[in-house]
Amino acid sequence: MTQFFEPAARLGLIPPYLFKAIDDMKAEVKARGVDIIDLGVGDPDLPTPRFIVDKMIDAVQDPKTHHYPAYSGMNLFREAVARWYQGRFGVELDPAGEVLTLIGSKEGIAHLPLGINDPEDLNLMTSPGYPVYQMGTLFAGGRCYFLPLTRENNFLPDLDHISPLVARDAKAFFFNYPNNPTAAVADKAFFARVVDFCRQYNIVAVHDAAYTELAYDGYKPPSFLEVPGAREVGIEFHSLSKTYNMTGWRLGMAVGNPAVLAALGKIKSNIDSGAFDAIQIAGIAALDSDQSCVRENCAILQERRDILVGGLKKLGYDVAPPKATFYVWMPVPAGMTSMAFTAHLLEQAGIVTIPGNGLGEPGEGYVRLALTVPKDRLEEALARLAKLG
C-alpha cells in the first residue's frame, strides 16, 4: 500500500526520544512480574487539597462557567495572581497588563517563541533543562544555543563566557530556578546579573519559576521579578501544578513585561480559547488560601528527601540534599553512562530513573530521581540498591 501522508518536516527537528527506550525496558521488566518503583515521574503523588476540589465541584455546577472563557483569563483570577505575587514575593503587578492566564505553564512556554521569534532567531537556554524550551524554539523556526549547567559552577550558567557574537544574535534566554533537573537554586545576585546581561544585548529574559514553592529547611526561593529592572527585560512563568498538586488541571500564569505578554496573548487567542472558568475559580481558592496546604506538602517532601538522600549517602553515592524542587540529581558510578546506569537500575532492581543526558548533553553522568512516591517505597528502593552493592 502506498503511503499517502508525510508528516511536517518540523517534526524531524525533534531529537530522538531517549525515554522511549526506558518505556520499552520498563514494560519488559513489568511483564516479568517485577514490582516497579518509579522515581522518574515528575508528577506529585499527593492529591489536590480537598478545599480546591470542592470549589471546582461548585463551579462546574454553575452554568455560567459553561461558556467560552476570556482569552487572557478571568479578571478575578488575574487579580488573585497579583495578590499572590504581592504576598509571596512583594512584587506588585497590574492584573490587566502584567498577568496572563495559561492552560498550564508548559503551554505558555511552548507558544512564547511563536510570538517573539522570527525564523532563524537564536534563543539561549540552560542545559540540561525542560525540553519545551528547545521544542518551542524549534517549532517557531528558531535556533537553540545551550548554556551548560555544571557542578563546578553550582549548576548556574556562566554568563561571562557567552561570546558577544552569540549574545548579540540572541532574542530570548530561557532559564529555570529552582532548577529541573539539577535542583539547583539561584539568588537575587544571579538574577541581577541576568537583568544586566539581557539589557546589554536586548534579550528577552524568560524565567520558569514552577518550583519556587517546593522548598525545604525554611528556604524561600526568590522570584526573578523581585530584582530591579527584571520586568523591563522579561517575564516569569509560574504554575499551580506543583504548588497545589494540580498537574492534571492545567492552570498557570505568565507575569511581567506587558509587551512580551501581549505577544504571547495574541498567539494564544488565535490558537486556544483559554482556561476553563471553573478551573480558574478553583485556582483563585488555592492562591487566596493561607498556604497551609503548601507547607504540609513541603513537610512530606522534606521527609522523603531526607530518607532518600540519607540512604544514598550511606550507600556511598555523592548526592547533595536539594534545597528546593522534588528532584535529586545523582552522579552515576564511575565508568558508567547515564543511560547504562538507568538500564542497570531498572533491570536489576526495578527502579525507574531519568538519565541526565535525556534532558541535555551536559546532563551526562547523572540521573534524576523524583520524590513522588511514599516514603516506604523510597525505603524499599534503598534496600534494593543496597543489595546491588
pLDDT tens per residue, range 173-207: 999 999 999 999 999 999 999 999 999 999 999 99
Mean pLDDT of 230-257: 98
Q: What is the pLDDT of residues 32-61, one digit of tens each?
A: 999 999 999 889 999 999 999 999 999 999
Residue 272's alpha-carbon distances to 115, 255, 367, in angstroms, are 14, 19, 36
The pLDDT value recorded for residue 41 is 84
pLDDT band with cut points at 50, 70 and 90 for residue 378: very high
Q: Do 139 and 77 belong together in one domain?
A: yes
pLDDT band with cut points at 50, 70 and 90 for residue 328: very high
Q: What is the pLDDT of residues 131-173, one digit of tens each?
A: 999 999 999 999 999 999 999 999 999 999 999 999 999 999 9
Residue with cell 499517502: 4
Q: Do 29 and 57 belong together in one domain?
A: no
| Of 288, 306, 339, the domain-final residue | 288
Q: Do 256 and 346 belong together in one domain?
A: no
Are the CB atoms for 346 and 352 separated by under 8 Å? Answer: yes
The pLDDT value recorded for residue 3 is 79
Q: Do 166 and 301 belong together in one domain?
A: no
Task: Report percent pLDDT > 70 for the chain.
Answer: 99
The pLDDT value recorded for residue 389 is 78
Q: Do 128 and 32 belong together in one domain?
A: no
| Of 241, 265, 288, the domain-final residue | 288
pTM over 0.85: yes
CB neighbour list of residue 12: distance below 8 Å, 6 or more residues apart: none
Q: Do 303 and 281 belong together in one domain?
A: no
The pLDDT value recorded for residue 18 is 67
Q: Do 356 and 306 belong together in one domain?
A: yes
Q: What is the pLDDT of residues 259-279, one digit of tens each?
A: 999 999 999 999 999 999 999
Residue with cell 518536516: 9
Q: Do 39 and 98 belong together in one domain?
A: no
Distance CA 182, CA 241 (A): 19
Report how many domains make up the chain: 2
Q: Which domain holds residue 231?
A: 50-288
Bridge partners (DSSP) of residue 161 are: none
Q: What is the pLDDT of residues 216-237, one digit of tens each?
A: 999 999 999 999 999 999 999 9
Residue 286's alpha-carbon distances to 211, 309, 324, in angstroms, are 16, 31, 20
Tell me whether residue 2 is in a domain.
no
Q: What are the φ/ψ torsions at residue 328 (nearest 5 degrees)?
A: -120, 125
The pLDDT value recorded for residue 270 is 96
Tell me whether residue 100 is in a domain.
yes
Tell me whether residue 19 is in a domain.
yes
Smallest Cα–Cα separation from 374: which of 289, 324, 301, 265?
301
| Of 268, 288, 308, the domain-final residue | 288
Residue 76's alpha-carbon distances to 110, 111, 323, in angstroms, are 25, 24, 33
Above 70 in pLDDT, residue 1? no
CA angle, corner 233, sides to 228 and 239, nearest 5? 85
Above 90 in pLDDT, residue 20? no
Q: Do 62 and 30 belong together in one domain?
A: no
What does the mean pLDDT of the chain come to? 96
pLDDT band with cut points at 50, 70 and 90 for residue 24: confident
pLDDT band with cut points at 50, 70 and 90 for residue 17: low
Q: What is the pLDDT of residues 343-368, one digit of tens each?
A: 999 999 999 999 999 999 999 999 99
Q: Do 189 and 325 belong together in one domain?
A: no
